[in-house]
Amino acid sequence: MASKTPVGFIGLGNMGNPMAKNLVKHGYPVIAYDVFPEACKEFQDLGAQVTESPADVAEKADRIITMLPSSPNVIEVYTGANGILKKVKKGSLLIDSSTIDPAVSKELAKAVEKMGAVFMDAPVSGGVGAARAANLTFMVGGVEQEFDAAKELLTCMGSNIVYCGEVGTGQAAKICNNMLLAISMIGTAETMNLGIRLGLDPKVLAKILNISSGRCWSSDTYNPVPGVMEGVPSANNYQGGFGTTLMAKDLGLAQISATNTKTPVPLGSQAHQIYRMMCAKGYALKDFSAVFQFLREEETF
Amino acid sequence: MASKTPVGFIGLGNMGNPMAKNLVKHGYPVIAYDVFPEACKEFQDLGAQVTESPADVAEKADRIITMLPSSPNVIEVYTGANGILKKVKKGSLLIDSSTIDPAVSKELAKAVEKMGAVFMDAPVSGGVGAARAANLTFMVGGVEQEFDAAKELLTCMGSNIVYCGEVGTGQAAKICNNMLLAISMIGTAETMNLGIRLGLDPKVLAKILNISSGRCWSSDTYNPVPGVMEGVPSANNYQGGFGTTLMAKDLGLAQISATNTKTPVPLGSQAHQIYRMMCAKGYALKDFSAVFQFLREEETF
Amino acid sequence: MASKTPVGFIGLGNMGNPMAKNLVKHGYPVIAYDVFPEACKEFQDLGAQVTESPADVAEKADRIITMLPSSPNVIEVYTGANGILKKVKKGSLLIDSSTIDPAVSKELAKAVEKMGAVFMDAPVSGGVGAARAANLTFMVGGVEQEFDAAKELLTCMGSNIVYCGEVGTGQAAKICNNMLLAISMIGTAETMNLGIRLGLDPKVLAKILNISSGRCWSSDTYNPVPGVMEGVPSANNYQGGFGTTLMAKDLGLAQISATNTKTPVPLGSQAHQIYRMMCAKGYALKDFSAVFQFLREEETF
Amino acid sequence: MASKTPVGFIGLGNMGNPMAKNLVKHGYPVIAYDVFPEACKEFQDLGAQVTESPADVAEKADRIITMLPSSPNVIEVYTGANGILKKVKKGSLLIDSSTIDPAVSKELAKAVEKMGAVFMDAPVSGGVGAARAANLTFMVGGVEQEFDAAKELLTCMGSNIVYCGEVGTGQAAKICNNMLLAISMIGTAETMNLGIRLGLDPKVLAKILNISSGRCWSSDTYNPVPGVMEGVPSANNYQGGFGTTLMAKDLGLAQISATNTKTPVPLGSQAHQIYRMMCAKGYALKDFSAVFQFLREEETF
């Protein structure tokens, strides 16, 4: 195990923390950095080397994973005054697992390439639980010859590593999936609500949809109506799961990509607006299936 | 076989024709009526008794199936000057397989009940092919005790007979399913289009969606992008399948039901508008998955 | 004054009450009916004759105005067991000022015509204040030759009597106007909100819009942003004005008319959904300009 | 006149050409640059000095106006290898009349300020005709003390110079106005279409809207229905006016601003999608009021 070469990890938040721990578990010496020093303490105790800046990480490791909240953070970590690019070594492999605008991934890839290194985007699906269980799905974009090298690391943290195509397509796949997910979740919520209003038992309606052409993951695996399924957020007052504010963020990325490529996304765009309105009405931290609750009429006056 | 009691069948169009034939095949003496006399000729040759009016059918058969294009036709066939209700016998079983507003089904049920007969709504899913192959799904609403009697006839024409609840819930289930189907089809179309614009191979994207939370019937069974799947309308220039104008009609029913019950259906409503715009732009007779083609940019100028 | 022939008035609610009083003021002997007897008491004191049913009104007056909440009420008052049509006299003029589906107006007109009488639809714009001040606008549909006869009565209650065309076009004009009003109100609300977020002073933005192509009644006469104008509901916590639930009702009528005529109304349809969601979220009784408040972000968590 | 100090002008396209000519007419020595040399020839003949790059312009003039198609062009002209910032003089006044993302304007303003110069955003409303007639409206954002200096130049090209607030608010005002314009235009188109379907004469309906609360610039000044008004694009097969593709571009800017500021814009977002779909269906170069034609049903099959 001691013979493994170090891996840099930048961004030790809710998701980055368990991901980096899984690298440690697999015997990789981890070179850690987070903008909040307290996020690193735990890793010091685990034997990781904690550094002062992304540039320091780049000096000490030639494989680096970044897991950050949004585009500006990623840009800062790469191109800032003490950013990775200040000290990145030739031949380094830089993997960004943040969910950001694919256009930003492409720009970073160009800057990294100029330094003689390789950039891949590898956003994840699956939440904190999947991160802990090393059960994430990684959608990977970048040069195909480097995919195996990336996969070696990503398999420590995920169970499903999918090659999507050139740089940026990992992000594209992620935001496409989440846009369709948002659409079908809202669709399921309004359909179930309408059916209930028309006299259908929600369990009966879910059963019919799930053997018919209306079937989707939101209806058969993550039904938003309380009482229809066990073990999903709708069974637990929409606690846990995937927060409405995070879904709104991903829909914002989809919208920006669609606008920039002049792609009509009439329902994706409306889904974005609905999740934004929900954030404005107190649903930001509830699971995104709470759209059922948002749409459900309570016209009591 | 000769001992079977006759069954009335009103409405021998694209769907009614093969459905009634399947009853004949199962040995039921069919009492036929259609507003277009030529639609009946074929049945005369098959030994069916052709009548002059719905009332005549009701006089000669105490089980009647209706399969008509829309609410006004059903209302006319039941309550018109020569309608079923003029001569319906006490204890008759009247099954309406048309897709109509569930509020109309409920009103007809009341009128039928006053005559001492029983009304059930039993709209179908599956197209002409499924009708020929006796492979339709029937969604049945009405008094539960009568479900077995209805099922006896419906199993001659379909492979899946689902009891949905009180009168009107068959229609409700049908329009709910189709509303969610329309939403997820448009969602799939715009998502696939966006992914392609962002550099993803459509087959790769479809594969990723289908193992992820964006998965739906429209992505995994009826993908709207040419080249992704075989044997679906998108592989055949959107010929065949389920016409855009029919989807627009069902979405209109969903919209009316939602309006009357004050149920918000933001995406269902938008899906309705998109299929209406498609009808206005020459897509009326194409399969409803042609929304991919409708959204695909051709900004050539 | 005593020589004026009596006028029937059915429906003495919030709107009907001041309207009927204005007829009394102009010296018309009023024959009154309301389904709630207490609504009639006040009119008894004013010298009006209170009757037991719409049929009684029709027996005693050959000009009748109806002002009722929705289509089913109007149908009942006309065609019910004790409805107007039971005793309507030949040559009577029946004016319906309710806001209902224009298709219902057309059907009633046919039934009235069969009895040798005349039906006109004459919905109003303007609220309770305008009703009191005899300042309503009436949009009138029906045979043009009868317009003057209708106008004689309507001018007692309104200041603007507009002839729109054949029966049903009064309703059509009303719901068309309100649909466009809802769209431009929501548009104004989201535009003002976006401008404020981008650093514009709301008064400056309103001023710019009002001299530019974005100008509309909602921006220049009824601005939804608190502090921009005086004397509008937004200046008074959205009290008074035109309630969200009433706007949702009118948008429902627009939607049903659009669905039945296969007319695409993408924004009208979305406006309907937004007002429905607002009703579901506690805004039912606030003025419809409260959509600004509904959209305004309060992402405090 | 000869004593006037020179003014730089970068971007001599459809709009920039007549704007720069108006500066020449007012006696300003113009220092011209365009990425297409042929666009400059005409100005050479008019006595303007044609330069090789934006940097050259900055060397020779301390007041510069830029009029470019989109954000990337503006960024290149300012920050590119031969951009304005390479040689901008302290105290220079740089006015950008392009329509771009206000966030980009703010970033440029910061970069310009670092060089000791002043940046103002001043996008225009009004098309090529207004540019020729020096009849544009300028919406100006930037330090208030500099507004008079900017106004001196802008009044040569426009008749209405509005101060909006800090840097970026000129852009904000422009895209807010155009978003509301797009919404009310589509709203007017669908309302007029619905009214016609319901039997109203379009001229009568327009008249009613224009005296009622549905009134807006699109209904009373630029009605999209052929035959309702003279002298507007709808009277001329939607030639001229403001192109659908330009409206789609501005709605894209509005959408990006809304996404970045987490502002819900449900109708603005839908309007964007509709104009995108129109671009995909051959309407890119027609006036944006052609949405009436786009929505109008032609269900001929």
For C77-127, write each residue's pLDDT tens digit: 999 999 999 999 999 999 999 999 999 999 999 999 999 999 999 999 988
Helices and strands of chain A, counted as H and E runs: 14, 9
Instruction: Report whether C287 contacts C244 (CB < 8 A).
Output: yes
D164: alpha, beta or left, given left = phi > 0 and alpha = psi -120 to 50?
Answer: alpha
Binding residues of A for NAD(+): 5-33, 68-69, 73, 99, 249
A295 touches chain C (CB under 8 A): yes
Q: What is the DSSP pairing of strand B63-66 with strand B49-50?
A: unpaired
Residue C64 CA to residue C41 CA, distance in Å, equals: 19
D263 touches chain A (CB under 8 A): yes
Mean pLDDT, rounded, of chain D: 95
A174 is catalytic: yes
Residue D100 CA to residue D217 CA, distance in Å, equals: 24
What local confidence, expressed as pLDDT, does residue D240 receive? 87
Option in A252, A262, A272 nearest D276 (CB): A262
CATH number of this structure's domain A7-165, picked from the four choices 2.120.10.70, 3.40.50.720, 2.160.20.10, 2.40.160.20: 3.40.50.720
CB atoms within 10 A of CB B70: 15
Kindly report the nearest CA distance between residue B7 and chain A, in angstroms: 28
Q: Which fold has domain A172-295?
A: N-(1-d-carboxylethyl)-l-norvaline Dehydrogenase; domain 2 (1.10.1040)
Kindly report the nearest CA distance between residue C39 and chain A, in angstroms: 22
Residue spans of beta strands (DSSP E) within chain C:
7-10, 30-33, 49-50, 63-66, 93-96, 118-121, 124-125, 136-141, 158-165
Chain B / chain D CB contacts < 8 angstroms:
43
**SS3 at position C15:** coil
Q: What is the DSSP pairing of strand C7-10 with strand B158-165?
A: unpaired
D182 touches chain B (CB under 8 A): no
Longest pairwise C-alpha distance within chain B: 70
Option in A169, A187, A297 nearest B199 (CB): A169
Residues on chain B touching C260 (C-beta within 8 angstroms): 252
A285 burial (CB, 10 Å; 0-12 / 13-18 / 19+) is middle
Among D162, D169, D198, D211, the strongest candidate for a mutation testing the C interface, having the largest count of C CBs within 10 A, is D198
Instruction: Give Cα A118 to chain centroid, integer Å.
Output: 21
Chain A 116-145, residues with CB within 8 Å of chain B CB atoms: 125, 137, 139
Give, in degrees to the nearest 5, the angle at Cα C52 between C48 and C54.
90
Which DSSP helix (H) or strand (E) runs through A40?
Answer: helix A38-45
Residue C40 CA to residue C49 CA, distance in Å, equals: 9
Residue D119 CA to residue A59 CA, distance in Å, equals: 40
C269 touches chain A (CB under 8 A): no
Give pLDDT tens digits for D254-299.
999 999 999 999 999 999 999 999 998 889 999 999 999 999 866 4
**SS3 at position D211:** coil
Q: Do A295 and C280 touch (CB under 8 A)?
A: yes
What local confidence, expressed as pLDDT, does residue C1 receive? 46
> Facing residues of A119 across strands?
A94
What local confidence, expressed as pLDDT, does residue B79 receive? 96
Residue A120 CA to residue B223 CA, distance in Å, equals: 29
What local confidence, expressed as pLDDT, does residue C2 receive? 52
Give pLDDT tens digits for A175-231.
999 999 999 999 999 999 999 999 999 999 999 999 999 999 999 999 999 999 999
B281 touches chain D (CB under 8 A): yes
Give pLDDT tens digits for D191-207.
999 999 999 999 999 99
Q: Do A221 and B213 touch (CB under 8 A)?
A: yes
In this predicted structure, the answer to whether residue D301 has a pLDDT above a threshold of 50 is: no
Q: What is the DSSP pairing of strand B158-165 with strand A158-165?
A: unpaired
What local confidence, expressed as pLDDT, does residue B301 receive? 43
Residues on chain B touching A203 (C-beta within 8 angstroms): none
Tokens encoding A172:
């594209």
DSSP 8-state class, residue D141: E
Which DSSP helix (H) or strand (E) runs through A163?
Answer: strand A158-165
Residue D269 CA to residue C143 CA, distance in Å, equals: 43
Which DSSP helix (H) or strand (E) runs through C258?
Answer: helix C244-260
Which residues of chain C are modeled with pLDDT < 50? 1, 299-301
Prediction ipTM score: 0.93
Option in C279, C284, C295 nearest A280 (CB): C295
In this predicted structure, the answer to whether residue A59 has a pLDDT above a threshold of 80 is: yes
In this predicted structure, the answer to whether residue A301 has a pLDDT above a threshold of 60 is: no
Q: Do A255 and D252 touch (CB under 8 A)?
A: no
Q: With respect to CATH, is domain D7-166 assigned 3.40.1190.20?
A: no
Instruction: Report whether A209 contacts A219 (CB < 8 A).
Output: yes
Domain definitions of chain A by residue range: 7-165, 172-295
Among candidate residues C136, D204, C79, the one with its CA nearest the CA of residue C94 = C79
Tokens encoding B253:
């029913």
C263 touches chain B (CB under 8 A): yes
Q: Do A296 and C284 touch (CB under 8 A)?
A: no
Q: Do D252 and A269 touch (CB under 8 A)?
A: no
Chain A 43-72, residues with CB within 8 Å of chain B CB atoms: none
A279 touches chain C (CB under 8 A): yes
Local confidence pLDDT in tens for the 301 residues of chain B: 457 899 999 999 999 999 999 999 999 999 999 999 999 999 999 999 999 999 999 999 999 999 999 999 999 999 999 999 999 999 999 999 999 999 999 999 999 999 999 999 999 998 888 999 999 999 999 999 999 999 999 999 999 999 999 999 999 999 999 999 999 999 999 999 999 999 999 999 999 999 999 999 999 999 999 999 999 999 999 998 899 999 999 999 999 999 999 999 999 999 999 999 999 888 999 999 999 999 986 644 4
- The amino acid that residue B160 corresponds to is N
